[in-house]
Structure 1
Amino acid sequence: MKRLLGVIVLMMLLFGCSAEKNETGKREGNVVATTGHIADVIKEIGGGHLTVTALMGPGVDPHLYKATQSDLSKLENAEVIFYNGLQLEGQMLDIFDQMSKDKTVLAVGDKLDKDKLLDSEDEGLLHDPHIWFNIDLWKQVVDAVTETLVKEYPEYKDDFQANETAFLKKLDELQTYAQERIKEIPEKQRILVTAHDAFNYFGESQGFEVRGLQGLSTEAEYGVKDVQEMVDFLVEHKIKAIFVESSVSDKAMKAVIEGAKQKGHDIVVGGELFSDAMGAEGTKEGTYVGMYEHNIDTIVDALK
């Protein structure tokens, strides 16, 4: 019954938003993405041809995000919609399903090689959705976005493809930068401890052991046992720094630090990492490349 009522409310909201749709029939290049990571790719590929809107801003947790009426209006007026998929935006799947009946709606995660995805042990998640932390996978996302935009706006094909080439070069340079900086950390110290398991793709691709207090989704609960096990791990491996995340409360990590202190092991917060959300628009960290560089610099400076 609750699900039925939810669908009815959704249909009412969509109907209410439909009056705002451009009646001229002219395609204005309105593209909407759920996360800042995806929106940044669209901006890089689209150049000045597209108007790109990200629904989720800095500090927003996509695992828990529920669409507002304003979001529904933006989605209704969009010509193309991109979302991450792989259950990252689990609260919005009915909306995407409804929207896909009238326009192109792409889950970029569905375009990736399945054998490159990390499996999930979390109930309800088949794969780890945090694909943006593997640069090679993100290149596949760039290709999928470009392919879709070329189909939707063929008049800009040459510009889109040239922009893709330029952006892929930036990503190659980013990978080189990351690898060079990571060399500053002794291999035995390459252990990344964060609030939740958002960095497994990062760990696999960059050679880190990764530990998160919560599971892949921030909906996962943690308890006293989880905190104690994390404390024991930190003490055993003599880890000197752990990291908080911009989109996750630091309460749990403070409990871990206090627990380690009670065992005679001092741990510091190595810095704040961007995980499920990027930085503010207009800042370096508000771009994919800038966000990744920030994380690399923060991790290396704390662990080397």
Structure 2
Amino acid sequence: MFKQRISKSTGRAFALLAAMLMLAACGSGAGGGAEGGAGSAGADGSGADGAIRVVTTIAQIAEPISVIGGGRVQVTSLMGPGVDPHLYQASQSDIRKLGSADIIFCNGLHLEANMLRAFEEIGKSRPVLAVGEAIAEDRLLTDETGAVDPHVWFDIDLWKEALGAAVEELKKLSPDDAEFFEANKRDYFAKMDELKEEAVRKMASVPEKRRVLVTAHDAFGYFGRMLGLEVVGLQGLSTEDEIGLSDIERTIGLLVERRVPAVFVESSINPKSIEAVIEGAKERGLNVRLGGELFSDAMGGAGTEEGTYLGMFRHNVDTIYEALTGEE
């Protein structure tokens, strides 16, 4: 079920993580809240309180699953607003949460690179599903080195596949709730389809030469493919990648040539590289403005519209549309 590559950089922390996971697994039969053990699974696969205890890495999985699962699931996301999953290291508290889960959903595709050993180890005692790896390989994007782009939540059709795979696992854990989960999934997917239609319509009205999305790192490839935007990320697919002067100069040249009016910062990325692009374009006679903040690897805060998957996606669409259709 879990089949990610494990990088050598995670090996140093593995011994500690393994020990913590063993302790968490030993304590998981004690019951308790979200921070404690999950309790023994009942006949239907649920925890002692009747709800399936789900732990996810990113909120892009957690929030939709909480909507689809309703009161039949208890969902905890390890990574909150402003958190970069490429660099994230599991804490002791995270290990306890993972150890209390009935099932764990991560994105996979090497997004959570520093947690791969933890997932592999805890997958020996409970289901761990990398939802992004449910998507057919020929539909995934890769960079020039062959690395797979993990930001699949930015293609609504692909994210439906990923979430659908998660829902199927919930059905296995609680067959009595299968019809409930399926009905809620259909309703949620209908809203995703409506959002895609809205996004396609808006982006189609942006002048073609301006359909260039410049951000700090290359997180919007699927978004661009779906909506007909040329995407330029100063960093590569991971925020661990270096930004070179040539990357900045090449981006400035593209902005000047196409007269692109705006560039964007990301909520989980340092804005300095984008600020350098704005200054460089100004020196070459083009006033490029900051088009706004986009949500890429993390969503907004709980209780906000941007803290929902649909609201986050709509915010990005509206922010990009308004900035690229504005005056130069």
TM class by shorter-chain length? Answer: over 0.9
Deviation at residue 229 of structure 1 after TM alignment = 1.6
* 1:72-107 deviation per Cα after TM superposition (whole angstroms, max 9, x unaligned): 000000010000010000110000000110001000
How large is the RMSD of aligned CA atoms in angstroms?
1.6
* 1:55-81 deviation per Cα after TM superposition (whole angstroms, max 9, x unaligned): 010011111011000000000000100
Q: Give the corresponding residue for 1:60.
A: 83
Q: 1:276 is matched with which residue: 297, 302, 315?
A: 297
- Mapped to 2, the partners of 1:79 and 1:37 lie a distance apart of 19
Q: Within 5 Å, which residues of 2 pair with 1:167-186?
A: 167-186=188-207
Q: Quick check: 1:13 aligned with 2:20? A: yes
Q: Within 5 Å, which residues of 2 pair with 1:237-256?
A: 237-256=258-277
Amino acid at match of 2:214: V
- Mapped to 1, the partners of 2:308 and 2:9 lie a distance apart of 39
- Mapped to 1, the partners of 2:143 and 2:127 lie a distance apart of 28
- Mapped to 2, the partners of 1:217 and 1:157 lie a distance apart of 36
- Mapped to 2, the partners of 1:5 and 1:283 lie a distance apart of 38
SS across alignment from 2:311: helix
Q: Quick check: 1:118 aligned with 2:133? A: no
Is the Cα–Cα contact under 8 Å of residues 270 and 302 in structure 1 kept in the other structure? yes
| Deviating more after overlay: 182-191 vs 211-220 | 182-191
Amino acid at match of 2:117: D
Q: Give the corresponding residue for 2:67.
A: 44
Q: Within 5 Å, which residues of 2 pair with 1:131-170?
A: 131-170=152-191
Deviation at residue 45 of structure 1 after TM alignment = 1.7
SS across alignment from 1:22: helix
* 1:98-133 deviation per Cα after TM superposition (whole angstroms, max 9, x unaligned): 0110001000111101111111235xx631100001
- Mapped to 1, the partners of 2:262 and 2:10 lie a distance apart of 44
Q: 2:224 is matched with which residue: 190, 194, 203?
A: 203
Deviation at residue 138 of structure 1 after TM alignment = 0.8
Identity fraction in percent: 49
Q: Give the corresponding residue for 2:209.
A: 188
Q: Give the corresponding residue for 2:57.
A: 34
Deviation at residue 5 of structure 1 after TM alignment = 5.1
- Mapped to 2, the partners of 1:79 and 1:2 lie a distance apart of 28
SS across alignment from 2:287: coil
Deviation at residue 175 of structure 1 after TM alignment = 0.8
SS across alignment from 2:231: strand
Amino acid at match of 1:40: E
- Mapped to 2, the partners of 1:121 and 1:18 lie a distance apart of 41
TM-score for the superposition, normalised by structure 2? 0.88
Q: Quick check: 1:107 aligned with 2:130? A: yes
TM-score for the superposition, normalised by structure 1? 0.95
- Mapped to 2, the partners of 1:66 and 1:4 lie a distance apart of 12
- Mapped to 2, the partners of 1:189 and 1:4 lie a distance apart of 45
Q: Give the corresponding residue for 1:79.
A: 102
Q: Give the corresponding residue for 1:25.
A: 40
- Mapped to 2, the partners of 1:187 and 1:233 lie a distance apart of 14
In the alignment of these two chains, the number of paired residues is 302
Is the Cα–Cα contact under 8 Å of residues 195 and 253 in structure 1 kept in the other structure? yes
- Mapped to 1, the partners of 2:296 and 2:151 lie a distance apart of 8
Is the Cα–Cα contact under 8 Å of residues 41 and 145 in structure 1 kept in the other structure? no
Amino acid at match of 2:233: G
Deviation at residue 257 of structure 1 after TM alignment = 0.7
Q: Give the corresponding residue for 1:96.
A: 119
Distance 1:2 1:173, change over 3 A: closer
Distance 1:266 1:11, change over 3 A: same
Question: What runs of 5+ residues in structure 1 fail to find an aligned partner?
Answer: none
